[in-house]
Structure 1
Amino acid sequence: MTNYDGQISSYKTVSILGQCFDSKAIVYLANHLPSASLVAIKKFDMDKVRGEVKLVEREIILTRQLNHPNIISYHTAFVASSEVCVVSPLMAYGSCRDLLCRHFNEGLIEPSIIMIIQDVLQALVYIHKKGYIHRAIRASHILISATGQACVTGLRYACPIIINGKWQRSIHSFPATTEKNLNWLSPEILEQNLLGYNEKSDIYSVGMVICELANGSEPFAGMSKTLMLTEKVRGITPQLLDRTTVSKDENLDCGGDCELSPSILNRRFSDDLHELAGLCFTREPYDRPTAAQLLTHPIFKTIRKSLPLPELLKPALPLSDRVGYDTEEMEVFDSISRLSNLNLYSCEWDF
């Protein structure tokens, strides 16, 4: 078993993968010199973090406590100068948001969506059993490994369900610094009323992710926060965009700003996928299924004979295939990362 030590000198930076935590952290591709293996290093600039130190601390501690194949793991964490460095396995396809932005602007195909959501639900079953609510399920917080395994991250926004040794029927705390997550949050979290919310709020977010992965765009994109909240409270939710939900006439009526492509208007998602999203969007949390109940849905039986996820994600290639272990390629990437004028921060690699 490889020993990933806490010495910054053991890791040679290859390139910048992207940023996260509102640009307060940068994720690097690095070569762990003792083992000659590629890893991801997330470096939190503590001078920028300042008042949000507890969020960083919470993420590291909670992630190190959890142990599940569908939750990102940390090899080690240490302090180097003014940075907190977290070393994790390289998730070679990056986040689902990256995949949508780079290769699948109009959404993923259905079998790949089902595989990813199955992994996310398995992670949530584990997280909820451990007594936590994630509160930040979104495409940029779902990472895909080279083998096609989806892993959940973003645990800095999680909150405990167990307080003073007692399982709480509802939680009333509003997640801190959550502006970027608002579109995915359930109406009961956003309402902030006396009823509170529980772990089923994560299931509503899963429905948002299904739409995000299927449509290729963020739910409620371009809508004001006030209107988004009003729509959610009224029970209005995003839809899977296909020929059953958007007609060609409606598309023409909406004008050029929102006109959909012919491929979206002609595609057809299964009734099961529409139903799965609908179950997640059940307005009353009491009636909303748990993650374990959703995993019994017949849709997850349809992928048994499907191609592996890496095959379904083509033409996207895992980072390990693009960079590999070739010394010359390493040097090229190392040189590129030194060019300050390149825009290397557009991706969300939220390890």
Structure 2
Amino acid sequence: MVKFEPKNSEYRTISILGHCCNDIGVVHLAQHSPSGQMVAVKRFNMDKAKEESALIEYEIILTKQLRHSNILKYLVSYVWGSDVCVVSPLMGYGSCRDLLNNHFADGLPENAIALILRDVLDGVDYIHKKGLIHRAIRASHVLISDKGHACITGFRYACGIVSNGKWQQKIHSYPSSTVRNLNWLSPEVLQQNLRGYNERSDIYSVGVLICELANGAEPYADMSTTVMLTEKVRGSIPQLLDCSTIHLDDHNIQGDSAVMTILSRQAKRKFNEGLHEIALLCMQYEEMDRPTAAQLLTHPYLKFNRKHAHLTEYLAPVIPLSDKVAYNKDELDTIESVRKMSDLELYSCDWDF
């Protein structure tokens, strides 16, 4: 078993994968020198963090306590100069947001969505049973391994349901630093009223995630915050975009041929009714009308036998980063040579985890 020590000298930086936490953190592709294993090292500059420092500390402590195959594992954390560093397994495909931005602008294939959704719900069910509400379930917080395994991250926004040893029926605390998560939050969280909210607010976010994965962009992405809030409070429910929901005659988009081209392609596809139904169930206005994660996992659509289906098949021709590195093992002798590799195709992404 590989042992990861809290020593910066054991992690050989190869390249920058992206930035996170409003550029406070930088995610590096690195090699664990003792084992030769490729990992991701996230370095938080605490001089820049200021008010975010408490959230960063909270996320590291909380994530290290979680043990589930669909939760991103933190292998070790340590302090190096003014940086707090966190080592995690390298997720070869990056985040679902990376996949949408770079390879699937119209949305992921349906079979890929179904497999990712099942993994996400497994992780959500686990954290809910642990007495946690995630409050930031979105494509950038769902990472995909080179084996096609989905993991949830982004726990700096999470909160507990248990207080003084008692399970709270409602939570009234509002998550800080939520500007980037507003489109995914449920109506009851956004309203901040005396009714409060519970763990089923995460189920609403799962519904928004389904739309994001299927449509290529999250619902309300082209709206102002005020209009988005109004739509949610009115009970508007976003839809998956396919031939049953897109009517091109209803879209009067002037001078944006790119948008019309995407809509035309989306209008030619048809998602399974089961996926439409799950998305609708998740985004019910009243939280008690939404099923739990455990109940959703028993839905016939998700119980369909996909034992022999592999997510990597549906993400082709995308090649995971670990495979790109494996093709060039001889080039790992020096950092300089790695950066010169034309076929490594490293790109900077918004790894917001």
What interval of TM-score do these two structures reach, taking the shorter chain for normalisation? over 0.9
In structure 2, the partner of 1:329 is 331
SS of aligned partner of 2:4: coil
Rounded to whole Å, the distance in 2 between the matches of 1:138 and 1:281 is 14
Structure 1 residue ranges without an equivalent (≥5) = 339-343
SS of aligned partner of 2:267: helix
Task: Provide the identity percentage.
Answer: 57
SS of aligned partner of 1:259: helix
* 2:16–2:348 CA contact under 8 A, matched in 1: no
Residue identity opposite 1:240 in structure 2: L
In structure 1, the partner of 2:223 is 223
Deviations 1:88-135 (A, max 9, x none): 011111000000011100001111101101100000111000000000
In structure 2, the partner of 1:3 is 3
The farther-off stretch of 305-314 and 100-109 is: 305-314
Matched, 1:105 2:105: yes
Deviations 1:116-156 (A, max 9, x none): 01100000111000000000000000000111110000001
| CA distance 1:303–1:309, change in 2 (3 Å) | farther
The 5 Å alignment of 1:203-282 reads 203-251=203-251, 253-257=252-256, 258-261=259-262, 262-282=264-284
In structure 2, the partner of 1:42 is 42
* 1:15–1:334 CA contact under 8 A, matched in 2: no
Rounded to whole Å, the distance in 1 between the matches of 2:245 and 2:191 is 28
Rounded to whole Å, the distance in 1 between the matches of 2:331 and 2:275 is 42
Tell me the CA shift for residue 222 of structure 1. 2.2
In structure 2, the partner of 1:124 is 124
Matched, 1:18 2:18: yes
| CA distance 1:37–1:175, change in 2 (3 Å) | same
* 1:70–1:150 CA contact under 8 A, matched in 2: yes
| CA distance 1:345–1:26, change in 2 (3 Å) | farther
RMSD of aligned Cα (Å) = 1.9
Tell me the CA shift for residue 256 of structure 1. 3.9
Residue identity opposite 1:349 in structure 2: W
The 5 Å alignment of 1:265-344 reads 265-302=267-304, 304=306, 307-324=309-326, 326-330=328-332, 334=336
Tell me the CA shift for residue 260 of structure 1. 4.3
Rounded to whole Å, the distance in 2 between the matches of 1:8 and 1:179 is 33
| CA distance 1:329–1:336, change in 2 (3 Å) | closer
Tell me the CA shift for residue 157 of structure 1. 0.5
TM-score, scaled relative to structure 2: 0.94
Structure 2 residue ranges without an equivalent (≥5) = 341-345
* 1:114–1:303 CA contact under 8 A, matched in 2: no
* 1:10–1:32 CA contact under 8 A, matched in 2: yes
Tell me the CA shift for residue 331 of structure 1. 5.5
Tell me the CA shift for residue 61 of structure 1. 0.7
TM-score, scaled relative to structure 1: 0.94
* 1:95–1:349 CA contact under 8 A, matched in 2: yes
SS of aligned partner of 1:14: strand
